[in-house]
Structure formats: structure tokens, C-alpha cells
């Protein structure tokens, strides 16, 4: 150890000597002057007072210490040093003959708004001793001159941070006082709030090192950035949007409660984004900023510390799969406003500190005002209300969808259109339905349907109900109650090939959503109860997804209940009973198709909004179907389809198959489709059905 080292006093008889080898002094190791303003200036002013205290304590210790000039002091214990310690023991008071005025690490609060240490101590209800300990512990992180001072006072040149004993000495507090020692316990405010770390648990309490988190030091210096441990885990709150009149009262009531002081609340939301929109409006009305967290439970301590330092609320929307540990830690922080949102009901087993449990109002479909704000003037170029009516997106996802729509329009090199908005909205309505259903991106329109007027009008009414169900059943309060949802359920009945699945696709296309065809093989299970579980997953996903759910051949799962003669009948009836209850609370759009309407249980029929019968096409409709199928196919001159429509009684699906067969035959010859190709296609459809081909000789 060099005698000129700042880590220990040198060979002079007193640290106050002018020799370069004397004990550390507050001026000898002072770094070059810093120009500081605002919070940094206030903190450095406090450190200047602490340097005087530490310097006085060094002077006092070195005055009677025979080893003060030993350059190896702190590295070994000489006999003289041991005798000096024995003469000074026992000591009832810390350095009792040091003038009390040197114990001044915490001067009076001047009321300076830039004094973040004083403001933080007041907001977190810290004692003066707590605030002084924080200042002592963070000093080496701001001024290197404190390292040799602390090394000397710790009697160990390698221990250049404050210890528990040194902090108490600098504060003039006896180390044997239980209340003073309790300030360093794990449950004490400094440690419980994440403001102080007491290291080296294996050492005696007085020699344990103290460390202040870098984030706290940065905050006290005026740094407004968030904790680096939360990088990528904080998301912006959505822009507050106007709510329906019957929801405004809830928002005002919640805002008033937030304004009264820290609150812990759990909002159960019907759909993702419902609660977040309400919280954004309530926090804005209460004038409180928030940290919206989306991360693992092990980052909650840093999150709460950040909320305490910045005076913001904590918002967690969408809890992890196992929410217990996170909820328990968040709800235990009664000094911070914590707002939780999740579709699941609150479980008291998650935490011993129950929050205020509320039901978030449903987010109305469309959200035209939010869409108009996000899209800007470009929204005036098309029917915005009609375009966005089927979508139930939160404010955040509306903003993202608006950005995606603008990007799509720029890619196409055109102005923003309703088609861009629909496509972007579908992308934001993520779904897990593909695990149990086949996804279809609709590529058809009403012009692709060839149906009589009555079923066509019913299909348009079905789309109309899907668009306006929130207004009629919600705002106008025409829901039947009893926990019933706001879903739209329709039954398409008719023979195979009459256009049931195509109609479902057209309805989905008109609404601007995807069509999911449920694969019955993926949900029907031989084990008792598993079919219901699979159906529940499908309905739950469909509830939160803007999509049309299609149960093709629905009589397989929606069939009539039978008399119970054995266990198979009993469990089959249990599945039907479950479906009856689930349809009551369904909030999405579900369509059922069947070839035999009589096979559907009457109890299901009562719960249907519409039953659309698809008749077998008559000759006039068959003629329209043949012409529609050939509309994009190269045809030979003089092609004749009137006779085909009259002589071949085919459904719409069979006519399409016949046209496809004819097209392949013509493509093989590299010629346009001729009448003979169409006749052959129609004959094959008859043969596939096992029917006698009519008038075969005349063709």
C-alpha cells in the first residue's frame, strides 16, 4: 500500500497534517468542481454537509489512534492497535466526545422543489434517520472522495462503502438501540420499498455494506427515465376516449376514488381492451399518470419502486397464466395505486389482500370516435361507422390498426379505403381458434350468391344484427337478462350444395371478419367431459375474436336429446345441455348448418336468432347458377346452358363441380369450354350421386 494512497491515513501523526500521506480529508480527494443545477445541485449540497460530518469523524478517530499513520492500517491488527481498542471499550455512545454539530447529514428541509431526496422521503413517509442513511449509502456513487473516507472509518481499506455501523456513527445514533437497528431489517421501509440493499448477510449486522440502487440515485439526480430493469416491459397507456352515457358514471366514480389516494382494484373485463379503456379515462380524469406493465412477476419489485419514485399508478392488463404470485405482491403494496385487469374472475386465493373487485363496462362495437381520431381526415372518405361496426378493439389496438391501414394504403399507392381498414382490423383481432377450426379469408360478395329473395333477405338481416347487436341489446337494453350474451346465432338448413357454407362466407365478408369452420373431429372426444372442454375453448376464443364461427353439419353436436337408456345417452344429453347453456351466454357470431333441420333439438331452435331455409334451386335459379359459374370461363360461341338448367336437377354446389370438370376437359384440349364439356360435367355429377342420367341419347 503506497503511503500516498487515499485508501488509508499515512505516516503523519494526525490526518490533519499537510503531508500528502495524511489521513483522508474532505478536500484532499474532492473531484473537480461540477456545474450542477436543479435536483443534482440539491443532492450535491447535501453531500457537502455529509463530507464535513465524515471529515470531523475522521479527525476525531485519528486523534487518539496510534495506528493512524500506519500505511498498512486496516490490513492487519498490530498489538498496539489491539490495546488501543481495548482501552476504548466498552463505549456506550458513538464517539461521544465529538461535537454534536458534526452529526448533520440531514439538514432541515428548505422546501426547495428540486430537493428530490426531501420530496421522496416525505412522499414515502421515511424518517429523518432513513433519509440520512440513504444519503450516506449513495455518497460513494456520486463522489469518489467518500471511498477512502469510508475505508478509513470502517478500519478496512477494502471496504469503501458505508456499513450499518458507519451509517449509525455518522448519524450519531448508538448501535445498540433496537429502533435504530430495526431501520435495516428486511421489513423496514428502506428495504421493503426497494430503496436500500443490505449486503453480506453472513457478516455481523454493523459490518454489512449498504448499497443504493442505481435507479434511485438517478432519480434523485433528476433522471426521468424508467428503470433499466423494466426496459421493454412498459407500454404506453391508450388515449382516453369518450364512453357511452351509461358508462360515464362508472368512469367518474372510479376517477373520484383514485383521486382520494392509493387504491388497489381488479377490473374483470368481458373482452380484452374493455378495462384498459376505462382505466385510461379514469386515470386521466383523476390527473394521475400510470406505468402500464407487461412482464414477469420477478420484475414487480422494480415496477413498484419506479411507481413510488415517480408517483405514478401501476396498471397491469392481462395477467399471466398463473397470476397468484404477481397479484399477491402487487396487492400488498398499499401505498401505490395498483389497477389490474383480466377476463378471469378474481380468485381470493391469489392474495391475502383483496382488491376492490369491479366489472368493467363492455366496450361498444365500432368505437367510431376512437377510429376517427386514429385515422385522421382520411376517415372522411368512406362510411367509417359502417366499416368498423363489427370490430370490438380496444383503443390501443385501434391505433395499431390505423397505422397498419395507412401502411397498406401507402403500399398500394392509393388513398385509405374501407378495405384497408377492414384488413388491418382483422390482423389486430388475433385468435387461437385455428387450433380447433379451419380459417377462411372470405373472398366472395353478395353477387356470388344465387338465392331466392326470402333467404337472401334473411342473410342480410343476419349481417345487420351482427353489426348493431351492441346498440340494440346493450345501449337500448333489450337483452333478455339472465346472463345472456349479445351473440348472433343462425341456422342454415337445406340440402347439400344449396349454398349454406358459401352464404356463411358471404356474411363474414360483408362484416369484414374471418370465417372459422369448426372441425368436429378436433372437438368430439370419447372421454367424458373432454368434448365440453374443447367446445368451451372454442366459444371462449370466439367471444373475444371478431370472427364468424361456422359449425358445419351441426346436427352432430346440436342433435336432439334422447331418452336415457344407458350411460351413452346420459353423457350425450349432458353435452347438449352444456351447449344450450353456452349459447345463452355467447357474445360472438355463430352459424350452424344442417342437411336435416328436423335433427336439430327444438331447445336449440328457440335460442336461434334466424333460421334460413335454403331451397333446392328451381330451373330459373339453376340457369342463373350455370351462367354465374361460367362468368369467368372462356366459352365457345353458341354455348347452350338453358337445356342443362332444365334437364339436370343439380344443386348449386353440383353445378359448380360440373363447370370445373368442363373447364379441365377444355383446358386439356387447349380450347374454350363447349356445350359438350358442360354436358359431360353434369352427367358426372349425376353418376356420382348414383342417379340415372336424363336424356342421355338426345345429347
| 372-407 pLDDT per residue, tens | 989 999 999 999 988 998 888 887 888 899 999 999
Query: What pLDDT is attached to residue 510?
Result: 94
Other beta carbons within 10 angstroms of residue 688's beta carbon come to 10
Across the strands, what pairs with 491?
Answer: 592, 611
H helix intervals, 205-244: 214-220
Provide the 8-state DSSP code for 236.
Answer: P
Query: What pLDDT is attached to residue 2?
Result: 33
Evaluate the CA torsion angle 660, 662, 668, 673 in order and state its sign: negative
- Average pLDDT in the chain: 85
| Among candidate residues 283, 286, 262, the one with its CA nearest the CA of residue 334 | 262
The residue to which cell 426547495 is assigned = 112
| 597-633 pLDDT per residue, tens | 877 878 788 888 999 999 999 999 999 999 999 999 9
For residue 8, count CB atoms less than 10 angstroms from its CB and return exposed for 0-12, middle for 13-18, buried for 19 or more: buried
In this predicted structure, the answer to whether residue 60 has a pLDDT above a threshold of 70 is: yes
Write down all domains in the chain, each with its CATH number in brackets.
Answer: 38-220 (no CATH), 228-359 (3.40.50.300), 368-429 (no CATH), 446-614 (3.40.50.300), 619-688 (1.10.8.60)
| 659-683 pLDDT per residue, tens | 999 999 999 999 999 999 999 999 9
The C-alpha atoms of residue 382 and residue 386 are separated, in whole angstroms, by 9
Query: What pLDDT is attached to residue 432?
Result: 74
Kindly state the average pLDDT of the residues 480-503: 88
Using an 8 Å Cβ cutoff, are 160 and 141 in contact? no
Backbone angles phi, psi at 640, to 5 degrees: -120, 125
Query: What pLDDT is attached to residue 27?
Result: 47
User: What are 455's three cell numbers?
Assistant: 333467404
In this predicted structure, the answer to whether residue 104 has a pLDDT above a threshold of 70 is: no
Name the pLDDT band for 545 (thresholds 50, 70, 90). confident
The C-alpha atoms of residue 575 and residue 59 are separated, in whole angstroms, by 86
SS (H, E, C) 69-113: CCCCECCECCHHHHHHHHHCCCCCCCCCCCCHHHCCCCCCCCCCC
| 196-235 pLDDT per residue, tens | 999 999 999 999 999 999 999 999 999 989 999 999 999 9
Other beta carbons within 10 angstroms of residue 582's beta carbon come to 19
In this predicted structure, the answer to whether residue 653 has a pLDDT above a threshold of 90 is: yes
Contacts of 160 (CB under 8 A, 6+ apart): 7, 140, 147, 148, 150, 151, 154
3-state secondary structure of 212: coil
Query: What pLDDT is attached to residue 10?
Result: 35
Q: Which of 14-18, 289-293, 650-654, 692-696 has the lowest mean pLDDT?
A: 14-18
The residue to which cell 347458377 is assigned = 625
Using an 8 Å Cβ cutoff, are 433 and 545 in contact? yes
Query: What pLDDT is attached to residue 12?
Result: 34
Across the strands, what pairs with 550?
Answer: 517, 591
Evaluate the CA torsion angle 287, 293, 297, 300 in order and state its sign: negative
| Among candidate residues 228, 218, 282, the one with its CA nearest the CA of residue 255 | 282
Query: What pLDDT is attached to residue 18?
Result: 37
Query: What pLDDT is attached to residue 337?
Result: 98
Name the pLDDT band for 38 (thresholds 50, 70, 90). confident
Other beta carbons within 10 angstroms of residue 560's beta carbon come to 15
Question: Model-level pTM greater than 0.85?
Answer: no
Residue 304, CA distances (Å) to 193, 262, 278, 332, 486 in order: 8, 13, 22, 11, 39
Give the angle 464-468-473 at the CA atoms, nearest 5°: 125
DSSP line for 533-546: HHHHHHHHHHHTS-
For residue 482, count CB atoms less than 10 angstroms from its CB and return exposed for 0-12, middle for 13-18, buried for 19 or more: exposed
Q: How many CA atoms lie within 13 A of 448 on its CB side?
A: 18
DSSP β-ladder status, 547-551 and 514-518:
parallel
The C-alpha atoms of residue 697 and residue 467 are separated, in whole angstroms, by 53
In this predicted structure, the answer to whether residue 29 has a pLDDT above a threshold of 60 is: no
Contacts of 436 (CB under 8 A, 6+ apart): 518, 519, 522, 523, 534, 537, 538
Query: What pLDDT is attached to residue 26?
Result: 46
Contacts of 117 (CB under 8 A, 6+ apart): 42, 43, 46, 131, 134, 135, 220
Percent of residues in the chain assigned helix, strand, coil, to nearest 5? 50, 10, 40
Strand segments, DSSP code E, in 409-474 are 437-440
The C-alpha atoms of residue 600 and residue 588 are separated, in whole angstroms, by 21
Using an 8 Å Cβ cutoff, are 297 and 325 in contact? yes
CA 219 and chain centroid, separation: 27
Amino acid at each position: 500500500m503506497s503511503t500516498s494512497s487515499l485508501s488509508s491515513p499515512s505516516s503523519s501523526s494526525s490526518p490533519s497534517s499537510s503531508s500528502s500521506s495524511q489521513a483522508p480529508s474532505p478536500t484532499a480527494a474532492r473531484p473537480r468542481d461540477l456545474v450542477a443545477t436543479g435536483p443534482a445541485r440539491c443532492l450535491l449540497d447535501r453531500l457537502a454537509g455529509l463530507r464535513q460530518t465524515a471529515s470531523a469523524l475522521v479527525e476525531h478517530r485519528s486523534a487518539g489512534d496510534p495506528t493512524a499513520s500506519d500505511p498498512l492500517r486496516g490490513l492487519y491488527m498490530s498489538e498496539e492497535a489491539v490495546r488501543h481498542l481495548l482501552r476504548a471499550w466498552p463505549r456506550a455512545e458513538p464517539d461521544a466526545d465529538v461535537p454534536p454539530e458534526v452529526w448533520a447529514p440531514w439538514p432541515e428541509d428548505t422546501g426547495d422543489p428540486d430537493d428530490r431526496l426531501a420530496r421522496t422521503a416525505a412522499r414515502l413517509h421515511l424518517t429523518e434517520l432513513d433519509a440520512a442513511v440513504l444519503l450516506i449509502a449513495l455518497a460513494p456513487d456520486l463522489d469518489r472522495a467518500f471511498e477512502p473516507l469510508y475505508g478509513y472509518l470502517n478500519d478496512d481499506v477494502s471496504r469503501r462503502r458505508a456499513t450499518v455501523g458507519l451509517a449509525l456513527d455518522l448519524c450519531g445514533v448508538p448501535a445498540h438501540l433496537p429502533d435504530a437497528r430495526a431501520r435495516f431489517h428486511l421489513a423496514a421501509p428502506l428495504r421493503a420499498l426497494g430503496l436500500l440493499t443490505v449486503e453480506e448477510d453472513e457478516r455481523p449486522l454493523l459490518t454489512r455494506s449498504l448499497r443504493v440502487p442505481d435507479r434511485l440515485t438517478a432519480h434523485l439526480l433528476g433522471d426521468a427515465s424508467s428503470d433499466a430493469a423494466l426496459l421493454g416491459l412498459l407500454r404506453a397507456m391508450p388515449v382516453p376516449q369518450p364512453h357511452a352515457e351509461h358508462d360515464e358514471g362508472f368512469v367518474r366514480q372510479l376517477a373520484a376514488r383514485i383521486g382520494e389516494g392509493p387504491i388497489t382494484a381488479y377490473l374483470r373485463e368481458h373482452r380484452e381492451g374493455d378495462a384498459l379503456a376505462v382505466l385510461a379515462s379514469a386515470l386521466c380524469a383523476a390527473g394521475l399518470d400510470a406505468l402500464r406493465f407487461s412482464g414477469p412477476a420477478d420484475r414487480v419489485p422494480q415496477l413498484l419502486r419506479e411507481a413510488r419514485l415517480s408517483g405514478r399508478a401501476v396498471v397491469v392488463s392481462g395477467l399471466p397464466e398463473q397470476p397468484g404470485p404477481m397479484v399477491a405482491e402487487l396487492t400488498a403494496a398499499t401505498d401505490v395505486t395498483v389497477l389490474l385487469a383480466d377476463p378471469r374472475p378474481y380468485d381470493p386465493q391469489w392474495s391475502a389482500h383483496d382488491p376492490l373487485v369491479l366489472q368493467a363496462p363492455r366496450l361498444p362495437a365500432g368505437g367510431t370516435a376512437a377510429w376517427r381520431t386514429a385515422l385522421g381526415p382520411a376517415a372522411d372518405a368512406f362510411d367509417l361507422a359502417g366499416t368498423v361496426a363489427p370490430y370490438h378493439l380496444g383503443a390501443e389496438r385501434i391505433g395499431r390498426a390505423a397505422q397498419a391501414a395507412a401502411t397498406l394504403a401507402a403500399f398500394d399507392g392509393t388513398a385509405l379505403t374501407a378495405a384497408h381498414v377492414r384488413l388491418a382490423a382483422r390482423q389486430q383481432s388475433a385468435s387461437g381458434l385455428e387450433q380447433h377450426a379451419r380459417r377462411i379469408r372470405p373472398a366472395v360478395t353478395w353477387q356470388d350468391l344465387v338465392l331466392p329473395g326470402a333467404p337472401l333477405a334473411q342473410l342480410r338481416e343476419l349481417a345487420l344484427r351482427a353489426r348493431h347487436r351492441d346498440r340494440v341489446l346493450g345501449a337500448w337494453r333489450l337483452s333478455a337478462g339472465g346472463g345472456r350474451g349479445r351473440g348472433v346465432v343462425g341456422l342454415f338448413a337445406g340440402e347439400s350444395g344449396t349454398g349454406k357454407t358459401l352464404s356463411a362466407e358471404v356474411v363474414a365478408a360483408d362484416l369484414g371478419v374471418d370465417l372459422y369452420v369448426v372441425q368436429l373431429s378436433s372437438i368430439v372426444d370419447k372421454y367424458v367431459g373432454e368434448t365440453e372442454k374443447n367446445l368451451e375453448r372454442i366459444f371462449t376464443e370466439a367471444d373475444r375474436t371478431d370472427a364468424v364461427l361456422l359449425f358445419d353439419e351441426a346436427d352432430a353436436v346440436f342433435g336432439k336429446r334422447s331418452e336415457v337408456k344407458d350411460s351413452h345417452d346420459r353423457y350425450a344429453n349432458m353435452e347438449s345441455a352444456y351447449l344450450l347453456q353456452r349459447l345463452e351466454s355467447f357474445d360472438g357470431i355463430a352459424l350452424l348448418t344442417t342437411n336435416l333441420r328436423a335433427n336439430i333439438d327444438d331447445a336449440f331452435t328457440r335460442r336461434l336468432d334466424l333460421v334460413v331455409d335454403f331451397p333446392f334451386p328451381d330451373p330459373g335459379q339453376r340457369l342463373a347458377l350455370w351462367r354465374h359459374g361460367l362468368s369467368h370461363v372462356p366459352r365457345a360461341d353458341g354455348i347452350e346452358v338453358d337445356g342443362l338448367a332444365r334437364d339436370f336437377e343439380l344443386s348449386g354446389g353440383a353445378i359448380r363441380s360440373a363447370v370445373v370438370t368442363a373447364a379441365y376437359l377444355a383446358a386439356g384440349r387447349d380450347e374454350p369450354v363447349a356445350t359438350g364439356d358442360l354436358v359431360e360435367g353434369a352427367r358426372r355429377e349425376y353418376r356420382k350421386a348414383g342417379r340415372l342420367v336424363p336424356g342421355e341419347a338426345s345429347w
